[in-house]
Amino acid sequence: MIYKDYRIAELGGQGDALDAIRKLEQQLTETYGTDVALIAYEADHEVERK
């Protein structure tokens, strides 16, 4: 079976992506009435595990 490992995405230079994440965090916080924080991950590589 092949699984992907993930690491935290480096979005420091991706202003549009950060803005989209912050906007969604705000919408979810308003919807659920509690603070919501989103974490972005990116696929690191594929690893075959048995």
**Structural domain boundaries of the chain?**
2-48
Question: pTM of this prediction?
Answer: 0.69
Query: Which region holds residue 9: left if phi is over 0, alpha if psi is between -120 and 50, else beta?
Result: beta
For 18, the 3-state DSSP assignment is helix
Cβ(30)–Cβ(36) below 8 Å: no
Tens digit of pLDDT at every position of the chain (50 positions)? 556 788 999 888 888 999 999 999 999 999 999 999 999 999 876 555 55
